[in-house]
């Protein structure tokens, strides 16, 4: 009995202890009594019988999951661990040291070999849990820039090398694949071509991986020579400076000059200054490279019976000036520009001595003016400008050859420049068009009367125009044609001025042109030759195109017809009627000179100018020679003069 009670008390005590433990821990407890195999199950939360959730699984991820890393370069990786409060990882490389190295912070450094490697992040909470990232380490490669180029013999070209796939050593060793025969290259990639033609290869080899290299191809051309001009037409003893250009080498660009026909073909200096022989024929000038005598070039010279020879220089460089044959056979050269200022000076050319000498100054400096020989032997110089906007002149003056002085006359009704002046059969002078002080193009015209020394207005042009041309026809009327309208719209229209009626009437049209020549031919027709046309919109940008086009005006039909073109394009040239009835076309941006034959209607080359020029003058002398003075070449005003014979 006692024993049974003791067991009961012990069981109750155990139960009380279990309840106390349940309250303390708040969890399930399992208690057992050794006596009677009594078991008690007690639960948390008021005795609920539900089981607690199982613990979460541990996972590991690596970011980025893959990467490309150059040899020796570093890439940062990050590991993320979930399912545990211990998020630390241990980093390692699956391939061991051959796959690179990685720090405890995930900083990976690629090995100096190419391949695919793997880094591993292992959970420190559960070493059975890990993640892997794949790393591609590329091979070293070398690229050379430029990959191909042409280098003259003895010249230098710079190459650069780009080494990719590694950061350990990006330097290269330079070499020439063909060895010394292919040239030399410095440690900085400066290549010097050999003195032989061929195709060679410059090589950049990686110092980090000598098995890797890049190649550039260099083409070294053969030496060649060209001569300018390649051909020319000259008169007896005519001069021409030939220029030789040696390409393909920078070592020695000198040439030796010779004439295939020897002294019978003329003479030439070491600098290429050629003088034609006195005999006509075809001759050949040769330039031979000094460094490579196998390289040379040849120019053909045709010597004809007429051509230019240099004469005495003017006192002053001039362009946009006037030249007038005086009754005494001398030539008055007046005004113009020397390239920097407008000239007031004048000078006289004496055909007897072929020399220039100063004469009295004009009353005003002027350029782009006109000069007209009057019936009384004096020269009328009208208008022009002083080289800048707002300086268009209305002033006029007379040159008296007897006193070699200038005196004011006029003035004109309208200030004008780039106009025309035509001596009429009645002795008066017609001034037409031009550009004014406030108007880009003028339609006005006026007459100068030498008897009174005054100007009066006459009929207006149908079209305002400047840079046009005018010619007195055999019927006494004046043909005015071409030129520029406002905004440099080039005109092809033409008009006739009738002195009897004092007005202009329209006549046929020609090809649009300005700064051209209009010459009355022996057959009564007028030759409109060359000039410029404009391509593009001049408000935004345009360009002048020199023309070889030619039109003939027939007064009986009142119309223009296209004629045979000139051999070369000419603009800003001169046209001079020769005693033979032929027309001499000189210069206009070229040294080429040609002759128009009205009988055949064709142009043919004659002896060239020594110097290409535009904006010059050409004057027929009493001895049938033609004096050409000044003008521009390459934008420079010339003081030189030449005589055609």
Rounded CA separation 229/95 (Å) = 75
Give the H or E element holding residue 375.
none
Spatial distance between the Cα atoms of 361 and 376, rounded to a whole number of angstroms: 21
**pLDDT at residue 351 in the model:** 98
Question: How many of the other CB atoms lie within 10 Å of CB of 326?
Answer: 16
Q: How far apart are CA 568 and CA 609, in angstroms?
A: 14
pLDDT, tens digit, 9 for 90 and up, residues 503-527: 999 999 999 999 999 999 999 999 9
Assigned token pair, 246: 């040696």
Q: Which residues pair with 577 in a beta bridge?
A: 583
Share of the chain above pLDDT 70, in %: 91
- Report the CATH architecture of 224-303: Sandwich (2.60)
**What CA dihedral angle connects 453, 398, 413 and 424, to 10 degrees?**
70
CB 66, CB 95: distance < 8 Å: no
Cβ-contact 404, 383 below 8 angstroms: no
Respond yes or no on whether the N-terminal peptide bond of residue 580 is cis (omega within 30° of 0). Answer: no
Q: According to CATH, where is 2.60.40.1080 located in the chain?
A: 59-137, 141-220
Q: Given 2.60.40.1080, 3.30.830.10, 3.40.430.10, 2.60.120.200, which CATH number is that of 59-137? A: 2.60.40.1080
Under-70 pLDDT residues of the chain: 1-55, 389-390, 487
Is 337 in contact with 635 (CB distance < 8 Å)? no
- φ/ψ region of 270 (left if φ > 0, alpha if ψ in -120 to 50, else beta) reads alpha
Span 308-644: which CATH code? Answer: 2.120.10.80
CA distance 59 to 87: 10
pLDDT value of position 592 = 97
- The two tokens of residue 424 are 């009429």
User: What CATH code would you report for 141-220?
Assistant: 2.60.40.1080
* 233 close to 263: Cβ distance less than 8 angstroms: no
Q: Lay out the sheet containing 370-373: strands in order across.
A: 370-373, 379-382, 396-400, 405-409
CA pair distance 594, 589, nearest whole angstrom:
14
Look up residue 532 and give its two tokens: 């410029």
Q: How many CA atoms lie within 13 A of 108 on its CB side?
A: 36
pLDDT score at 55: 62
Angle at 561 between CA 558 and CA 567, to 5 degrees: 140
For CATH 2.120.10.80, the residue range(s) in the chain are 308-644
Please count the CA atoms within 13 angstroms of the CA of 222 that sit on its side-chain side. Answer: 7
For residue range 337-347, list pLDDT tens digits in order. 999 999 999 99
Neighbours of 22 (CB within 10 A): 18
Q: Give CATH 2.60.40.10 domain extents, the chain.
A: 224-303
Task: End-to-end CA distance of the chain: give it in Å, rounded.
Answer: 169
583 alpha-carbon distance from chain centroid: 37
**H or E stretch covering 12:** helix 2-25
Q: Mark residue 554 as left, alpha or beta (left: phi above 0; alpha: psi -120 to 50; beta: remaining).
A: beta
Phi, psi at 78, each rounded to 5° = -130, 135
**Alpha-carbon distances of 54 from 25, 51, 129, 233, rounded to whole Å:** 18, 9, 18, 111
């Amino acid at each position: 009995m006692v024993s049974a009670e003791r067991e009961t008390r012990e069981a109750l005590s155990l139960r009380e202890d279990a309840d106390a433990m349940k309250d303390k821990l708040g969890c399930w407890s399992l208690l057992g009594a050794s006596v009677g195999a009594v078991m008690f199950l007690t639960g948390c939360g008021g005795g609920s019988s539900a089981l607690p959730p199982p613990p979460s699984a541990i996972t590991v991820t690596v970011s980025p999951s893959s990467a490309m890393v150059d040899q020796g370069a570093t890439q940062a990786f990050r590991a993320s661990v979930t399912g545990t409060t211990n998020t630390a990882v241990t980093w390692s490389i699956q391939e061991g040291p051959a796959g690179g190295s990685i720090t405890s912070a995930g900083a990976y450094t690629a090995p100096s070999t190419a391949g695919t490697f793997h880094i591993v992040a292992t959970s420190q909470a559960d070493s059975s849990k890990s993640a892997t990232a794949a790393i591609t380490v590329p091979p070293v490669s070398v690229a050379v820039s430029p990959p191909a180029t042409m280098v003259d013999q003895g010249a230098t070209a710079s190459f650069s090398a780009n080494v990719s796939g590694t950061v350990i050593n990006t330097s290269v060793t330079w070499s020439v694949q063909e060895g010394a025969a292919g040239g030399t290259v410095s440690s900085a990639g400066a290549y010097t071509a050999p003195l032989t033609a061929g195709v060679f290869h410059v090589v950049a080899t990686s110092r980090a991986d000598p098995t890797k290299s890049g190649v550039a191809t260099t083409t070294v051309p053969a030496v060649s020579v060209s001569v300018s001009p390649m051909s020319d037409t000259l008169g007896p003893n005519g001069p021409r400076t030939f220029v030789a250009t040696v390409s393909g080498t920078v070592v020695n660009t000198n040439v030796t000059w010779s004439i295939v026909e020897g002294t019978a073909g003329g003479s030439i200096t070491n600098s290429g200054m050629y003088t034609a022989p006195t005999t006509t024929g075809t001759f050949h000038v040769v330039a031979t490279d000094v460094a490579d005598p196998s390289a040379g070039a040849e120019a053909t010279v045709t010597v004809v019976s007429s051509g230019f020879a240099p004469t005495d220089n003017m006192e002053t460089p001039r362009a946009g000036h006037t030249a007038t044959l005086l009754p005494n056979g001398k030539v008055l050269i007046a005004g113009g520009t020397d390239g920097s200022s407008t000239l007031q000076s004048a000078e006289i050319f004496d055909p007897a001595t072929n020399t220039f000498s100063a004469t009295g100054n004009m009353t005003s400096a002027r350029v782009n003016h006109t000069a007209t020989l009057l019936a009384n032997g004096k020269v009328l110089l009208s208008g022009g400008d002083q080289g800048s906007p707002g300086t268009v002149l209305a002033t006029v003056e007379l040159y008296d050859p007897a006193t070699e002085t200038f005196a004011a006359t006029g003035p004109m009704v309208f200030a004008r420049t780039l106009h025309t002046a035509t001596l009429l059969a009645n002795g008066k002078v017609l001034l037409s068009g031009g550009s004014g002080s406030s108007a880009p193009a003028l339609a006005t015209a006026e007459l100068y009367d030498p008897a009174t020394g005054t100007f009066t207005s006459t009929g207006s042009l149908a079209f305002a125009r400047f840079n046009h041309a005018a010619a007195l026809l055999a019927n006494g009327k004046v043909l005015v044609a071409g030129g520029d309208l406002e905004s440099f719209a080039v005109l092809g229209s033409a008009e006739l001025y009738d002195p009897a009626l004092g007005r202009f009437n329209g006549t046929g049209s020609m090809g649009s042109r300005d700064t051209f020549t209009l010459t009355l031919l022996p057959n009564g027709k007028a030759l409109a030759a060359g000039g410029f046309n404009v391509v593009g919109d001049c408000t935004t940008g345009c360009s002048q195109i020199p023309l070889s086009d030619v039109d003939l005006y027939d007064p009986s039909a009142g119309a223009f017809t296209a004629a045979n073109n000139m051999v070369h394009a000419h603009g800003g040239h001169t046209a001079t009627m020769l005693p033979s009835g032929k027309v001499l076309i000189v210069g206009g941006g070229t040294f080429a000179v040609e002759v128009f034959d009205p009988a055949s209607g064709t142009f043919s080359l004659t002896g060239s100018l020594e110097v290409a020029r535009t904006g010059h003058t050409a004057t027929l002398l009493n001895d049938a020679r033609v004096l050409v003075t000044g003008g521009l070449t390459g934008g420079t005003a010339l003081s030189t003069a030449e005589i055609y014979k």
